Amino acid sequence: MSFELLNFFFSPLSNGLIFVLLALGVFIAFRVLDIADLSVEGLFPFLTVLTCYLIRLGWNPLLALLLCFVLGAVSGALNAALSLYLKIPPLLSGIIMMSVDLSFALVFIYYNGGSPTLLGNYPTLFNWLSTLFRLAGLSTFWAVILSKLIVVGAIVALIMVFLYFFFGTELGLAIRASGKNKQMARANGISVKAMTMIGLALSSALVALAASLYAQANLGGTAQDGQGMIVIGLSIIFLGEAILPHHTFKTHLLAIFGGSFIYWYIIQLLIKLMDYIPGGSNYLTLWKAILLTLVLAVPYLILQIKKQRAHKKEEESDAPMPESL
Amino acid sequence: MVGIRFFVLKEDTLMKHGKMSILVGTSLLLSSLALSGCGSSGKTIGTLKIGAFDALNNAEKGFVEGLKENGFEDGKNITIKSDNANGDGATNTAMAQSLASSCDLVLGISTTSATALKGAVDGIGGSIPVLFTAATDPVGSGLIASMDKPGGNVTGTSDLGPIEAEINLLKKFSNIDTVGFLYTSSESNSVVQLKIAQPLVEAAGWTFVTKPITAATEITSAVSSLSSDVDVLLIPTDNTIAENMANVKAGNEARTGHPLIVAGCDSGMIGGSVVAMGVDYYKLGIQTGVMAAKILNGTKPADIPAEYNTDAVLKINKTWATSLNITIPEAVLNTAGAEII
């Protein structure tokens, strides 16, 4: 297979895996807690820049990842505190946290001499595995791509299993209850404030993991990294929900997992198609909107048609039935 | 906590099936279509820009022209794929990955695009040449080791404005006490220039005032709220402000005292500034195109020193200065190569 073809199939896989974490973070805020958390767009570039900055200082990449996780949780908890204790509307508190986080990104860019942070030959989480693969005789392409898929895949698997069991515990169920019906949850003796805080901290911590992995996988971080992240997160959730079954919590998580890959294959496909339209990439956003609408609407339309047919059949089978009495 | 089970139960129903197969089928069909179209002559060159502003568009046009002047023409002996990320970070990365795997040489227009391309080429263990243009601080951002000896597979042209020349020009004005510096704080290229300008301005004995903005919407109020002490407003090569020079003009008109506005220019900037001195992005693009031609002819990128813009442009908007009651000294007007409007 040509290099181009290999990349066509594998780069959405590694992007998709990383964005599962982002989408899960957005999912917890948006679906479980029913809060539109906008801080993602600031948190993401803050932590991509910080990850690169720390690794350039000589930090262990895993340590940088863990620090990002903690900082993400702190940012989420602060965001919740702003809306719960200072009565700032959640949408606005998200915007405030976004600005705060983005400012931190700018501070670290300033410390870096005003330049975005590029990792180049600095070690990342994937280095030890890709070195091992290369020693085993694999080409650089396979060594790099496999090490990314294995390391990120392991982290994603761990997180998904954790989320599944966590949201089945009393604490997890209490968080879900607080998101679904505040009054009812309160009536059952749940501290809605504490639950919202824990939930948002978890949500932002997952976004933080995605940011740190994104920086390490793409070898750099800039202040522009956050642009469009919420849209991507929401697109992934909606794509997953439109196409895959999601009736239990477990299948809902799996639907997001699948949605992330579907999203990235759509993007990859569009970028490739744009090569054949002169100046096509200028309208990429329009094509993305059209394709996403199609993917979201077609399953619904198919369902409607099926329903109509079923309805007709019912009428037909109803017709010959004689009225009793 | 017993009552909570109630919330979960209603979710435990059956699944739906069958839609995945349609989707997978369609995408496979489309992807085979997308990949079968390649069959071009010669080498493929990919360009990626972070957004479509005058400066970056001009650099791109110059690049194509520079290649053409050296015998490489799109559609004849080379194929040029040009991608535009429309300001979206994740799209920028995905486009970089796509170009890195399908081209023989890639050009990143702007620091963000160049770093993404470098990351993408390294990420797949490739070694194709990566060129950059309109990247202000290629050494600091880690693209290259040094301007003279770039090393590795990266080289290109920097759009660092001729700040020192701008400040030397200002010394010809007699009545300057305070210099303001308007820039977008999220643009690393502007921060780099801030760090260069500050010591130079202070060495000239003037007070240095910074005015950072975070978005284009703040430009008008930032300019109109500048302290009246500010005699000169220095604007670096800044993408956000370059795109919105009209707002600078509006802000300047909305105040009583008018500072002299000096901008690291390109064609679009003359509208809002009195003096525009800086990088000609079209020429910068041509310089980069020449480098690309050298690489296509067999020179290694590591052996081609990275360059700054060789000839800075100086444009003076005399009509606009007169309407703002700013007198421009003869010494400035007589500068060699100055274009007076």
ipTM of the complex: 0.70
**Which one of A11, A140, A279 has the shortest CB-CB distance to B97?**
A11
Tell if the CB–CB gap between A272 and B31 is shorter than 8 Å: yes
Kindly determine whether residue A302 and residue B19, on different chains, have CB atoms separated by under 8 Å.
yes
pLDDT at B31 over 70: no
In a domain, A113, yes or no: yes
pLDDT of residue A38: 92
| B42: amino acid identity, one letter | G
Q: Do B7 and A173 touch (CB under 8 A)?
A: yes
Distance in angstroms (rounded) separating the CA atoms of residues A119 and A286: 33
Contact B149, B300 (CB under 8 A): no
Residues of A in contact with B116 (CB under 8 A): 218, 220
Determine the pLDDT at residue B6.
35
Highest mean pLDDT range out of A69-78, A128-137, B68-77, B172-181?
A69-78
Mutate to test the interface with B, among A26, A130, A265, A271 (most CBs of B within 10 A): A271
Which pLDDT value is given to residue B228? 77
Domain assignment of residue A23, given as a range:
3-314
**pTM for this predicted structure:** 0.76
Using the beta-carbon criterion (under 8 Å), do B34 and A229 form an inter-chain contact?
no
For chain B, percent of residues with pLDDT exceeding 90: 25
Q: Do A7 and B124 touch (CB under 8 A)?
A: yes
What does DSSP assign to residue A192? Answer: H
Q: Is A284 on the interface with B (CB under 8 A)?
A: yes
pLDDT tens string, chain A, 325 residues long: the values are 467 777 788 888 988 999 999 999 999 999 999 998 999 999 999 999 999 999 988 899 999 999 999 999 999 999 999 999 999 998 999 999 999 999 999 888 877 766 667 777 788 888 888 888 888 888 878 888 889 999 999 999 999 999 999 999 999 999 999 998 889 999 998 999 999 999 999 999 999 999 999 999 888 888 878 888 898 999 999 889 888 888 899 999 999 999 999 999 988 888 888 777 776 777 787 888 888 888 778 878 888 898 888 888 877 776 665 555 5
By C-alpha distance, the chain B residue nearest A46 is B186
Chain A residues whose CB is inside 8 A of the B12 CB are 247-248
With respect to residue A215, please indicate whether it lies within any of the assigned structural domains.
Answer: yes
Q: Find the helix packing angle between B54-69 and B281-296, rounded to 10°.
A: 40
Angle of CA points B94, B95, B96, to nearest 5°: 90
pLDDT tens column, B123-142: 777 789 999 998 888 887 78
A245 touches chain B (CB under 8 A): yes
For the residues B222-227, what does the mean pLDDT come to?
Answer: 81
Q: Is residue B31 within 8 angstroms of chain A, CB to CB?
A: yes
Residue of A nearest to B138 (CA): A115
Residue A321 lies in a domain: no
| Residue from A67, A72, A41 nearest A53 by CA | A67
Give the model's pLDDT for residue A195: 94
CA dihedral A133, B101, A211, A36 (to 10 degrees): -140
Cβ pair A244:B50 closer than 8 A: no
Contacts of A5 in chain B (CB under 8 A): 35
Contact yes or no for A267 and B94 at CB 8 A: yes
How many CA atoms lie less than 13 Å away from A164 in the CB half-sphere? 14
Distance of alpha carbon B317 from alpha carbon B232, whole angstroms: 15
Residue A124 DSSP SS3: coil
pLDDT of residue A321: 59
**Could you tell me if residue A319 is inside a domain?**
no
Q: Is B9 near chain A, with CB under 8 Å?
A: no
Task: Name the pairing type of β-strands B43-49 and B232-235.
Answer: unpaired
Residue A172 CA to residue A165 CA, distance in Å, equals 8
Contacts of B97 in chain A (CB under 8 A): 7, 11, 15
Higher pLDDT, B219 or A46: A46
Interface of B with A in 66-85 (CB under 8 A): 81-85
Contact B109, B133 (CB under 8 A): yes
Q: Does B112 touch chain A (CB under 8 A)?
A: yes
Query: Of A114, A243, A269, which is closest to B191 when you measure between CB atoms?
Result: A114
**Inter-residue contact B324 to B274 (CB < 8 Å):** yes
Q: For residue B136, give the chain A residue with the closest CA.
A: A115
Check CB contact of B89 with chain A, cutoff 8 Å: yes
Beta-carbon contacts below 8 Å between A and B:
229
Residue identified by tokens 């180049």 is A120
The structural domains of chain B, with segments of one domain joined by +, span 43-159+281-308, 163-278+313-340
Cβ pair B11:A181 closer than 8 A: no
Task: Answer whether residue B24 shows pLDDT above 60.
Answer: no
The CA distance from B221 to the nearest CA of chain A, in Å, is: 19
A262–B contact, CB cutoff 8 A: yes
Q: Report the chain A residue with the minimal C-alpha distance to residue B135.
A: A115
b/e sequence A6-19, b meaning 16+ C-beta within 10 Å: ebbebbbbbbbbbb
**pLDDT for residue B320 is more than 90:** no
Which parts of A96-250 are beta strand (E)? 117-118, 220-221
d(C-alpha B167, C-alpha A85), whole Å: 51
List of chain A residues whose C-beta atoms are within 8 Å of the C-beta of residue B195: 113-114
Burial-class residue B271 by CB neighbours within 10 Å (0-12, 13-18, 19+). middle
Candidate from A4, A110, A285 with C-beta closest to B86: A285
Interface contact flag, A269 B95, Cβ < 8 Å: no
Which of B17, B27, B126 is nearest residue A269 as measured by Cβ atoms? B27
Question: Nearest-CA neighbor of B25 among A238, A298, A2, A20?
Answer: A298
Q: What is the mean pLDDT of residues B312-320?
A: 81
A286 contacts in B (CB within 8 Å)? none
Alpha helices in chain B (DSSP H): 5-9, 19-36, 54-69, 89-102, 111-123, 163-170, 188-203, 219-224, 239-243, 245-253, 281-296, 318-323, 330-333
The CA distance from A251 to the nearest CA of chain B, in Å, is 8
Total domain count for chain A? 1
3-state secondary structure of B179: strand
Q: Using an 8 Å Cβ cutoff, are B156 and B133 in contact?
A: yes
CB contacts, 8 Å: B95 with chain A = 271, 281
Instruction: Tell me the CATH number at A20.
Output: 1.10.3470
Chain B nearest-CA residue for A222:
B112
* E strands in chain A: 117-118, 220-221
B43-159+281-308 CATH fold? Rossmann fold (3.40.50)
CA distance B9 to A67: 37
Spatial distance between the Cα atoms of A34 and A28, rounded to a whole number of angstroms: 8
> Is residue A325 in some structural domain?
no
The correct CATH number of B163-278+313-340 out of 3.40.50.2300, 3.40.50.720, 3.30.230.10, 3.40.50.1580 is 3.40.50.2300
Q: Which residue of B has its CA nearest to A240?
A: B20
Residues 111-140 on A with a CB inside 8 Å of B are: 112-121, 139-140
